[in-house]
Amino acid sequence: MKIVLASRNQDKYKEIKDILKHTKVELVSAEEFNVPEIIEDGATYFENAKKKAFYTSTHTQLPAISDDTGLEVFALGKTPGVYSSRYAGKNASYSDNVRKLLREMQGKTDRRARFVCVCVLCFPDGTFYQTRGEIRGIITKEPIGRGGFGYDPVFYIPELKKTFAELSLEEKNKISHRAKAFKKMAQLIEKLEPEK
């Protein structure tokens, strides 16, 4: 099934394409269809993901898939949450967001956090499906590792004794919140395909 990824983030596209490589999904980027930028103004991950998927599906007349992902830090009241990508401002870079997070975490003893991903698949007729994935970890006191993107250098997984940024793409895509949500969606698509 040909599905458009409703995102302009090429790091995310690369990661999701790798997650779905052994499935029946043929993932194409929204860039190929000149889909206009979609403002993420929802109050929840689901609202943002659905808005992007629905708009992209309507624009391309193809099934579209989207996710909204956030880092929830318990000591900060589960922020940045839906504002994770713009935590340090509208045009913040990955490192701007990480710097702000580490500043906010100074002096905090509770460093527990989780990544949450909500994935939505939408068809041009408005039919949609959603899945969710999460992984728990700890916020480090400084960035560690050179891989990944976003908050990966400060998200430490105790069981692996590594941050996301120290994992290969293959390792990360076995355990991550996004991998869990998209693998569930791939299983759902397997069941849907005869109908659609």
Chain segment 148-157, per-residue pLDDT in tens:
999 999 999 9
Q: Is the dihedral of CA 88, 152, 181, 14 positive or negative?
A: positive
Tell me which of 183 and 196 has the higher pLDDT. 183
Q: What tokens does 110 get?
A: 């509770």
Active-site residue (options: 68, 110, 125, 152): 68
Closest CA to 33 of 124, 150, 149, 97: 124
Give the pLDDT mean for 97-103.
98
Lowest mean pLDDT among 29-38, 79-88, 113-122: 29-38
Look-up of token digits 């808005």: 51
Query: In the predicted model, what is the mean pLDDT of residues 97-125?
Result: 98
Which pLDDT score is estimated for 195?
A: 55
φ, ψ of residue 73 in degrees (nearest 5): -105, 120
Q: Between 121 and 23, whose confidence is greater?
A: 121
Q: Which is nearest to 21 in space by CA: 164, 179, 188, 192? A: 179
Residue 171 has pLDDT above 90, yes or no: yes
Tens-place pLDDT, residues 18-60: 999 989 899 999 989 989 889 889 999 999 999 999 999 999 9
Q: How far is CA 59 from the centre of its chain?
A: 22
What pTM, to 2 d.p., does this model score? Answer: 0.93
CA angle 160, 166, 168 (to 5 degrees): 95
pLDDT > 70? residue 193: no
User: How crowded is residue 108: how many other Cβ atoms within 10 Å of its Cβ?
Assistant: 14
Q: Is 68 a catalytic residue?
A: yes
Average pLDDT, integer, range 95-104 = 98
- What does the pLDDT look like over 54-80, one tens digit per residue? 999 999 999 999 999 999 999 999 999
What is the spatial distance between Cα 66 and Cα 68, in angstroms, rounded to a whole number? 7
**CA distances, 75 to each of 18, 22, 38, 60 (Å):** 33, 38, 31, 42
Dihedral-angle region of residue 21 (phi above 0 means left; psi in -120 to 50 means alpha; beta otherwise): alpha
**Which pLDDT value is given to residue 127?**
96
pLDDT of residue 9: 86
Please name every residue paired with 3 in a beta bridge, in sequence order, or none if there are none.
Answer: 27
Q: Which residue carries 């659609």 as its tokens?
A: 196
Amino acid letter, 133: G
Find the mean pLDDT for residues 119-137. Answer: 97
What's the pLDDT at 126?
Answer: 94
| 8 A C-beta contact, residue 30 and residue 6 | yes
Residue 196, pLDDT > 60, answer no
Domains of the chain: 2-192 (3.90.950.10)
Of 195, 136, 187, 123, residue with least CA distance to 164: 136
Query: Region 82-97: what's the mean pLDDT?
Result: 95
